[in-house]
Chains A and B, each alone.
Chain A
């Protein structure tokens, strides 16, 4: 049952991800992206990472994507995008490169049941067993990974300053 559901969610995620790239209208791309993120949240649930799944839906599929939608609508980009970047030759090259990378991944991972047996999976399982789904994220975030957590604050500050500098009218 879990395996079947996994393939369903994975199929939706990949199909919608392709839809993001080939959709002609920005709003269409955006809705495909929401679908991808929701499907990934589904796979998180299958891995018993309920907290992560909830955050994925609330923050990504909810807040950030709605913001994207606002920006697209406010800038009036809702109609069809110009096709200058999506010409025939470009699409062939892009599909070729993407296909080659997907093939390489598939070749390397063929037969290896990595999702269940990798060292990373063990570490996650141990942490979840000890602290629960929320604790497995919260504890390291404020103890082991407190330095990266603080650096993220600096990163956000730099991003805000950069955005304000570039967006502000120069003679204000």
Chain B
């Protein structure tokens, strides 16, 4: 099928995955409201896989599945030209797989948490679906206005999810903090978009790129606009020095939401940022290159140093997520084919290993917000060998050990940096990785080498069926991408082909 965006109705087809997700999200909201009265009568000891809240979880999961089918269908669709507001290219579709995967994993690890914390399941899963649709709009956007609106749909949904746990004061505080700083960052992004429009006369990224390379853009406005855009994206991906909100928000938010924030939100922001950089501003690299270079270097160094001294596991994973944003910013500065493919590959692997690690953190915390210190993991590996081995694999992958997807991801990022002759950033990346071994392996050390404070400390840690599913998928894919990376990498490489002005 061919799509011609001069006919407005063809946007329906181009946006099919997003539309499926939005409609399904509204459906989950409505079903959630109509089931409310049944949920409240149940006792807390029931099986979380059978309660009323779980029905909504499975329903939401079917929505993600439907959007995934629509996404696969889009592979058979071609667009005429590339001037439309919505991109129908492989890059977007690969990003959609990552985002849908992150949403599916988040829903799977939320079942027991939502049940145990008595969250309003309809709104919880509905907001996850709608926020995911917002992220997919960002991945699809060829227009700065669509990027902004997608970012807002995503952010507003995630603000609400962050403050979702009404019984937890920390959750409310995190939600407010995230909302205020997020709104502030959005202001920067919007101001940047306005200035870029003033300089180039268009919000379409391809038209902006043409205007910049033709030299018709007003230089001063353009430079400030690009700087503001970079700051706006820097806030969303939590790059140092715009990371101040991250540790508190990640620590206070409900754990499944933290997993969702650190993987999906980051992936969406990076995908949109990469498209803007390589399509709109390849010729303006004298403006954004030094900014992004320093962001990458500062983020890698500072985040890893701060992660070293954390004793709360959620907070440690928050700093770890900031550090990973630094590694991914290296790919943005390189902006060549290898780096872009490496970025997609890394985002995919990062989503799997990060969500997997959070799944076990939720399990150890008894589906609540307790027992989050590193000491609470003492002896966990011997008490729950399967979960212990899984968490060890995720930690090794996050640290970047050979044989895991995280290692191959870092190799591809380094390859991209080497192609662009970014030796200093490459060296910082390697040194930062070595430093990160300490804090990841400290948890593994506690798990396997220490004795628990109480002998039956880990007896109550349960991983219900949906969480087991998520763990099996994550472990399998992390190992698969680590041992046989070529399939995923070739896929990523084919996905970035033809995207903007990537240096080969």
Given A114-B218, A148-B145, are A158 and B164 neighbors across the interface (CB < 8 Å)? no
Given A114-B198, A157-B130, A158-B130, are A105 and B8 neighbors across the interface (CB < 8 Å)? no
Closest A residue to B175 by CB, please name it: A166
Given A147-B15, A148-B146, A162-B127, are A155 and B153 neighbors across the interface (CB < 8 Å)? yes
Q: Mark A137-160, 1 if CB is under 8 A from B, else 0.
A: 000000111111001101101110
Given A151-B150, A151-B153, A154-B22, are A119 and B11 neighbors across the interface (CB < 8 Å)? no
Q: Could you say which interface size class chain B belongs to?
A: 35 or more
Task: For residue B104, give the distance in angstroms from its CB to the closest CB of chain A.
Answer: 20
B26 contacts A by Cβ under 8 Å:
yes
A108-B221, A158-B134 known; 14 new pairs, CB 8 Å cut-off, are: A104-B224, A108-B220, A108-B224, A117-B218, A119-B199, A119-B218, A147-B146, A148-B146, A151-B150, A155-B152, A157-B26, A165-B120, A165-B164, A170-B166
* Dominant SS among interface residues on chain A: helix
Task: For residue A136, give the distance in angstroms from its CB to the closest CB of chain B.
Answer: 14
How far is it, in angstroms, between the C-alpha of A119 and the C-alpha of B203 when the chains are bound?
Answer: 12
Q: Which residues of chain A have C-beta atoms less than 8 A from B26's C-beta?
A: 157
Stretch among B53-61, B154-162, B404-412, B446-454 lining the A interface: B154-162
B86 contacts A by Cβ under 8 Å:
yes
Number of chain A residues whose Cβ lies closer than 8 Å to a Cβ of chain B: 33
Q: Is the CB of B126 within 8 A of A114?
A: no
Q: Is the CB of B156 within 8 A of A123?
A: no
Task: For residue A171, give the distance in angstroms from its CB to the closest CB of chain B.
Answer: 9
- The A63-110 residues at the B interface (CB cut-off 8 A) are 104-105, 108-109
Closest A residue to B200 by CB, please name it: A119
Q: Is the CB of B202 within 8 A of A123?
A: yes
Which of A148, A159, A161, A162: most chain B Cβ within 10 A?
A162
How far is it, in angstroms, between the C-alpha of A87 and the C-alpha of B152 when the chains are bound?
Answer: 32
B302 contacts A by Cβ under 8 Å:
no
Q: Is the CB of B85 within 8 A of A147?
A: yes
Q: Mark B215-250, 1 if CB is under 8 A from A, else 0.
A: 011101101100000000000000000000000000
Task: For residue B331, give the distance in angstroms from its CB to the closest CB of chain A.
Answer: 28
B149 contacts A by Cβ under 8 Å:
yes
A-B contact count (CB 8 A): 106
Given A159-B156, A161-B123, A166-B163, are A118 and B198 neighbors across the interface (CB < 8 Å)? yes
Task: For residue B373, give the distance in angstroms from its CB to the closest CB of chain A.
Answer: 28
How far is it, in angstroms, between the C-alpha of A138 and the C-alpha of B204 when the chains are bound?
Answer: 19
B93 contacts A by Cβ under 8 Å:
no
Q: Which residues of chain A have C-beta atoms less than 8 A from B160's C-beta?
A: 158, 161-163, 165-166
Q: Is the CB of A161 within 8 A of B159?
A: no
How far is it, in angstroms, between the C-alpha of A151 and the C-alpha of B485 when the chains are bound?
Answer: 37
Task: For residue B178, give the distance in angstroms from its CB to the closest CB of chain A.
Answer: 12
B375 contacts A by Cβ under 8 Å:
no
How far is it, in angstroms, between the C-alpha of A114 and the C-alpha of B222 when the chains are bound?
Answer: 11
The contact of B199 among A118, A143, A162, by CB within 8 Å, is A118
Q: Which residues of chain A have C-beta atoms less than 8 A from B134's C-beta?
A: 154-155, 158
- The B356-395 residues at the A interface (CB cut-off 8 A) are none
A112 contacts B by Cβ under 8 Å:
yes
Given A105-B224, A119-B217, A151-B149, are A162 and B197 neighbors across the interface (CB < 8 Å)? no
A48 contacts B by Cβ under 8 Å:
no
Task: For residue A33, give the distance in angstroms from its CB to the closest CB of chain B.
Answer: 14
Q: Is the CB of B201 within 8 A of A122?
A: yes
Which of A117, A123, A147, A152: most chain B Cβ within 10 A?
A147
Closest A residue to B22 by CB, please name it: A154
B279 contacts A by Cβ under 8 Å:
no
Q: Is the CB of A109 within 8 A of B150?
A: no
Given A147-B85, A159-B156, are A112 and B149 neighbors across the interface (CB < 8 Å)? no
Q: Is the CB of A143 within 8 A of B201?
A: no
How far is it, in angstroms, between the C-alpha of A154 and the C-alpha of B25 when the chains are bound?
Answer: 10
Q: Which residues of chain A have C-beta atoms less than 8 A from B164's C-beta?
A: 165-166
